[in-house]
């Protein structure tokens, strides 16, 4: 059975465990092995550009050392994507780009719940680099770090930002802009009545599709 | 096991059989039943607007009469999509929109190999309605009908148009704009060295992903 | 004298009568016959996608049975436009597209007063399919059906939405997004100080221009 | 009967006479007086920016001195439009902008047959300032001046450029980018099989529509 | 030493003096002479289209009479730019376009603090004609004339509009849309924490760069 | 006197020397020290994504160790820009982005002469991330590496690509997409009759302007 390697590029085993649990529905319905690894030695959270640059080369090295039929970089800043695609002989997909591609098919205008102000600025450039700005409703931060975003105390703030994206910006599908809060998908869908995307789920499902159809490279 | 119903909205059983065969790789790697049906009484090929309008209501009626966990309309003009989404309680995906979403993740600028001049004009409006015109490299017709596009005699013309999309328009991924020629995917990939998309494959894989993650509606 | 056939594709004779009255200023200043017909057997109001699909073929059949020098489909969802243009040998214009073309020449950013939330989503795709999203200031619903939109009780809500389009979204010209409220043009212009477009008026004036200059097809 | 004043802002009476003749079909079908005037003292042709600036104030002064229900500036660089709209109490329409609005309703991608290279650069900015670049197929010069563009010897070059716009750029409607060649509309339509727009015809028909519906200002 | 001629196209010597003082930092760090002139006989402020048209030819004549290595038109409506570029043999830069080019390198989305409502409408077309609308966060008026915008009493209103551009529209760099308020740059930067652009400073620095690198024409 | 530090992030001293010489005109006309350094230990040329990632951290470390009033990263892939801006307390400008900002003020549509196919794909995303795709005429590779691009034997190929950008794509200003060929600016300008941009010159002039006006951060 083909294997998808999901790498959490921060060093938090808790985040990896959460990512891993969120992928159980995919395991149940697709004939593919899904392994999640933590990038030992990486920053505990990826929030700054320095964090991003620090993981690019180790992340790709880890992938090279653990061959799979497809690779997922499980951080919403999609670190190392260009390098991984250059050196690996199998599809590599980022979770942010995968979330956006899935959002295009679940609603007409997507909203992104970001963690920090600085993330929003990075997202805007990224969305535009993909030519998808016409489908972006809005991108708003909860102003919490990676780990805080997963705490119970963050739920209220996430819902508040989600409501603004829905009611002020006109989003009809929401993307959770950090793996830290991805386990809230079900709750947010129920509270806000919109489809919500866990980017790692979107990436793994996309990777499985690419494997299924025999594509050797993502882009 | 969840079931995806793929409906070929023209009345040609040969086209349905070809679509069906192309889906075997998906069956092999995803835990989902994929059933293909032909829309009896429909035009033999869907080429004109009259053909499209003629199948909208019967196509949706067929889907309503054959409940599934997800539905695929297997014609590149995506007929009946808006109606089906209004009346059915499960995701309905069109093959043209699904092909474009997949193309966004396989290359930077996609090219469409259309059958007719009139198809190109329809595609342009459609691509633009989805806000994806910034990623479209070009859309060029082979000037053959649905059935002719599948004949051996069409291969040369398909390759010629594909080369123009690649070399003049700058496409780095190609979409086959008709189910009639979808079985040529492998050949074209080999000849042109670019990833090629069979839209029905793209749609079924997308539908399987939506089922896997529990989404109830596509858009 | 050339004849323009205006077809109201819902079955409400009241709506047809209202449309007809609004066209008197055109009759007074252009040498053209303008006949308004009701599509018997159609839904009483066109609000859902099912309503739209139900009228496409009967609407075009009615036009075929009543030859004219130009045809107008008088419903803001522009139903049947593609089919009518394929089968008829004279210009066919939709009132939504005509309203937008006129708006481009009356202001810099147009606002649309829609009837329902679902209409707004349809409009967004339509505006984008025409490549005019750069000129759209906003599209907001009054959340009333076709017939309610014409009642006296709707006026306050229409004005409120119009003010938001003007003051928040920056619209400097407004389009009435349903034939039901088209007779409010004068009142709204006076209250809001902006030019307001009755889409059927815009379509008929456009059709008269096409006839005058000898064009045989609209697009 | 309402009166439309068409001002040719170059000083050539021959050009004015040609413009005037092209408007006979409009006179035949619309209840409006159409008067054409020449701007005495203006350059013999408007080709440079200096020509444009030289006519702005005299052109508007002439309009002020000759009250009408609507005004048309009959030069494809739309000189003086902003000023005329600021000082006159009736709709003022430019022929270039009117041609583009009409083109949007006659095809999906319009081509412009320009006179000079320098005109093309001016057009690109103008098209973009109107947010219509998504509908522009191409803009190509015949490299002849205003008067040469009307000579018999120019026909071949006009047709050649029109064919390139149609076959290479994908235009399905053409705009004649100078009043000098506007009398070729019928010939070009016949030779190329596409609708062709005489900008002054488009402007006058638009002005008549604005008068008919009681709009006091164009934009 | 090369000379940059800065012309204030309104007739206010006070505005010219203010412009002149703001350029001292440039004089201190670049080896270039910077001379500021007032356009005698011009309107006291340039606010209407009539004001703009009135200065085009005298402004360019003044430049022709005072040869320099580069020219700056110091009014935010960039009057006479096209004409000056046609007749002068050295780079001519407008302050509005220069401010926008500099803004692109100081932030991701720029906001414009305009003086009047009518200015905003002019700016929108201009920004779009330059293809920069994707980077514009917002453009909001203080509703004060050229001279009032420089008064102490205007500061509060300028800061209020600046805050709205920053907090509601998402601007991360601000442009002062009139030479009248340009001397407030430092104060606004300090109060709002964003980079602020004095358009004449931006234009002079740009002109110095063009001279330094030997470019003969701006565009 | 303020100092601008220009770092060539490849390890070729020849390239650094060439960059250095090209900056003499800036030294002659601006009161600023311009120092050029080579990144010891870096790849000899930056052509692949691996090359880019390899220099990001060392490049920024070199800048941190050599304080200046502004920094320039002298490689057309703008490596390390985001990181440098995060950690340094002075403006950091990339040569690719600076070249594009300057191009916007020298012509209406810019063309990029790239070295490799893979560079073109990277540029497209980058141009789009900056929202400047509407001003890009074309981007075409000479298919030579960094060092080959500077050889005499490359001149013919550079001119050929430049002509195609000018004549087919409509570029009216050209950007040299590699420091290797930047010393050809004068020759290409003379041969093709268009302004040509040496990106490092553009960046240094921009940096000098930011220093002159007291801006502390570029973006």
Nearest to C53 among B83, B85, B128 (CB): B83
Nearest to D25 among C97, C172, C213 (CB): C213
Answer yes or no: do C50 and B86 touch at CB < 8 A.
yes
Using a CB-CB cut-off of 8 Å, the residues of chain D touching B125 are 108
CB-side neighbour CA atoms (13 Å) of F121: 15
pLDDT (0 to 100) of residue B52: 98
pLDDT (0 to 100) of residue E15: 96
A168 at interface of E, judged by CB pairs closer than 8 A: no
A167 at interface of C, judged by CB pairs closer than 8 A: no
Distance from CA of E166 to the nearest CA of A (A): 13
Distance from CA of A176 to the nearest CA of B (A): 15
Optimal mutation site among E120, E121, E165, interface C, most CBs of chain C within 10 A: E121
E167 at interface of A, judged by CB pairs closer than 8 A: no
Region C46-67 average pLDDT? 98
Distance from CA of D104 to the nearest CA of B (A): 13
In tens, the pLDDT along B43-59 reads 999 999 999 999 999 99
Answer yes or no: do F213 and E206 touch at CB < 8 A.
no
- pLDDT band of residue D93 (cuts 50, 70, 90) is very high
Using a CB-CB cut-off of 8 Å, the residues of chain F touching A82 are 49, 52
- pLDDT band of residue C188 (cuts 50, 70, 90) is very high
Run of H or E residues at B67: none
| Rounded Cα–Cα distance for residues C214 and C201 (Å) | 20
Using a CB-CB cut-off of 8 Å, the residues of chain C touching E128 are 134
D48 at interface of B, judged by CB pairs closer than 8 A: no
Beta carbons of D147 and D11 less than 8 angstroms apart: no
Using a CB-CB cut-off of 8 Å, the residues of chain B touching C53 are 56-57, 80, 83
Region D30-44 average pLDDT? 97
Name residues of chain A where pLDDT drops below 50. Answer: none
Record the tokens describing residue C45, joined without a space. Answer: 């109001």
In tens, the pLDDT along E96-109 reads 999 999 999 999 99
Using a CB-CB cut-off of 8 Å, the residues of chain B touching F125 are 108
| Rounded Cα–Cα distance for residues F44 and F10 (Å) | 5
Distance from CA of A158 to the nearest CA of E (A): 19
DSSP state of F2: -
Q: Where are the beta strands (DSSP E) in chain A?
A: 3-8, 33-38, 70-73, 92-94, 110-114, 136-141, 173-176, 196-197
Q: What is the pTM of this model?
A: 0.97
Distance from CA of F58 to the nearest CA of A (A): 11
Region E60-70 average pLDDT? 98
Region D154-172 average pLDDT? 97
Nearest to B135 among A102, A131, A202 (CB): A131
Answer yes or no: do C124 and A134 touch at CB < 8 A.
no
- Torsion angle of the four alpha carbons B48, B50, B53, B55, in this order, in degrees rounded to the nearest 10: -80
Against chain B, the chains showing at least 3 CB pairs within 8 Å are A, C, D, F
Residue of E nearest to D50 (CA): E83
Domain annotation for chain C: domains and CATH numbers: 3-94+200-212 (3.40.50.12500), 97-198 (3.40.50.12500)
Mean pLDDT of chain C: 97
Give me the residues of F, 112-131, that contact E with CB < 8 A: 130-131
- pLDDT band of residue B18 (cuts 50, 70, 90) is very high
pLDDT (0 to 100) of residue F31: 93
pLDDT (0 to 100) of residue A121: 93
pLDDT (0 to 100) of residue B184: 96
pLDDT (0 to 100) of residue A78: 98
Distance from CA of B214 to the nearest CA of D (A): 37
Distance from CA of C123 to the nearest CA of A (A): 12
| Rounded Cα–Cα distance for residues C15 and A217 (Å) | 57
pLDDT (0 to 100) of residue E92: 98
- pLDDT band of residue E142 (cuts 50, 70, 90) is very high
Chains A and C touch (3+ CB pairs under 8 A): yes
Identify the CA nearest to F180 among candidates F38, F7, F10: F10
Answer yes or no: do D205 and C219 touch at CB < 8 A.
no
Answer yes or no: do F121 and B108 touch at CB < 8 A.
yes
| Rounded Cα–Cα distance for residues F118 and F139 (Å) | 11
Chains C and F touch (3+ CB pairs under 8 A): no
In tens, the pLDDT along F140-163 reads 999 999 999 999 999 999 999 999
Distance from CA of F167 to the nearest CA of A (A): 27
A53 at interface of C, judged by CB pairs closer than 8 A: no
Using a CB-CB cut-off of 8 Å, the residues of chain F touching D124 are 108-109
Answer yes or no: do E26 and F213 touch at CB < 8 A.
yes
- pLDDT band of residue B176 (cuts 50, 70, 90) is very high
- pLDDT band of residue E121 (cuts 50, 70, 90) is very high
Answer yes or no: do B29 and A28 touch at CB < 8 A.
no
D169 at interface of B, judged by CB pairs closer than 8 A: no
Give the other-Cβ count within 10 Å of B7's Cβ.
Answer: 27
pLDDT (0 to 100) of residue A172: 97
CA separation, residue B68 to residues B32, C111, F95 (Å):
11, 40, 56
Answer yes or no: do D86 and E48 touch at CB < 8 A.
yes
In tens, the pLDDT along B189-219 reads 999 999 999 999 999 999 999 999 999 999 9
Instruction: Tell me the count of E-F CB pairs closer than 8 A.
Output: 110
Question: DSSP characters for chain E?
Answer: --EEEEEE-SS-HHHHHHHHHHTHHHHHHBS-EEEEEE-TTS-SS--SHHHHHHHHHHHHHHHHHS--SEEEE-STT-TTHHHHHHH-SS-EEEHHHHHHHHHHTT-SSEEEEESSHHHHHHHHHHHHHTT-GGGEEEEEE----TTGGGSGGGHHHHHHHHHHHHHTS--SEEEE-SGGGGGGHHHHHHHH-S-EE-HHHHHHHHHHHHHHHT-----
pLDDT (0 to 100) of residue B76: 97
In tens, the pLDDT along D140-161 reads 999 999 999 999 999 999 999 9
Region F31-59 average pLDDT? 97
Three-state DSSP at D214 gives coil
Record the tokens describing residue A119, joined without a space. Answer: 């993330």
Beta carbons of D164 and D33 less than 8 angstroms apart: no
Residue C214: which region, alpha, beta or left (left: phi > 0; alpha: psi -120 to 50)? Answer: left
Answer yes or no: do C209 and D209 touch at CB < 8 A.
yes
ipTM passes above 0.95: yes
Answer yes or no: do B172 and A206 touch at CB < 8 A.
no
Percentage of chain A lying above the pLDDT 90 cut: 100
| Rounded Cα–Cα distance for residues F202 and B169 (Å) | 30
E190 at interface of D, judged by CB pairs closer than 8 A: no
Burial status of residue D34 (CB atoms within 10 A of its CB: 0-12, 13-18, 19 or more): buried
Distance from CA of C125 to the nearest CA of B (A): 5
D21 at interface of F, judged by CB pairs closer than 8 A: no
Mean pLDDT of chain F: 97
CA D130 to centroid of chain Cα atoms: 16
- pLDDT band of residue F104 (cuts 50, 70, 90) is very high
Record the tokens describing residue D162, joined without a space. Answer: 């029109």
Region D174-182 average pLDDT? 96
pLDDT (0 to 100) of residue F149: 93
Answer yes or no: do A86 and F56 touch at CB < 8 A.
no
Beta carbons of D138 and D116 less than 8 angstroms apart: no
Give me the residues of F, 79-108, that contact D with CB < 8 A: 108
In tens, the pLDDT along B157-172 reads 999 999 999 999 999 9
| Rounded Cα–Cα distance for residues B105 and A206 (Å) | 9
pLDDT (0 to 100) of residue F107: 97
- pLDDT band of residue D168 (cuts 50, 70, 90) is very high
Record the tokens describing residue F20, joined without a space. Answer: 């250095």
Distance from CA of F51 to the nearest CA of D (A): 37
Record the tokens describing residue A161, joined without a space. Answer: 């930002």
């Amino acid at each position: 059975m083909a294997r998808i390697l999901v790498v959490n590029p921060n060093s938090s085993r808790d985040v990896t465990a959460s990512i891993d649990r969120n992928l159980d529905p995919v395991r149940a319905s697709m004939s593919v092995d899904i392994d999640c690894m933590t990038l030992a030695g990486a920053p505990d959270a990826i929030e700054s550009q320095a964090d991003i640059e620090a993981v690019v080369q180790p992340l790709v090295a880890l992938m090279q050392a653990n061959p799979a039929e497809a690779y997922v970089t499980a951080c919403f800043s999609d670190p190392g994507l260009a390098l991984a695609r250059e050196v690996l002989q199998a599809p590599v997909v980022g979770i942010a780009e995968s979330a956006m591609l899935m959002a295009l098919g679940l609603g007409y205008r997507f909203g992104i719940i970001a963690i920090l102000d600085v993330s929003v600025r990075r997202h805007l450039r990224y969305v535009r680099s993909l030519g998808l700005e016409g489908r972006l409703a809005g991108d708003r931060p909860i102003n919490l770090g990676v780990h805080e975003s997963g705490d119970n105390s963050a739920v209220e703030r996430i819902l508040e930002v989600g409501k603004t994206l829905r009611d002020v910006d006109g989003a009809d599908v929401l993307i959770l802009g950090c793996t830290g809060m991805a386990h809230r998908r079900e709750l947010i869908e129920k509270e806000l009545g919109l489809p919500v995307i866990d980017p790692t789920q979107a990436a793994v499902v996309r990777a499985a599709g690419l494997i299924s159809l025999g594509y050797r490279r993502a882009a």
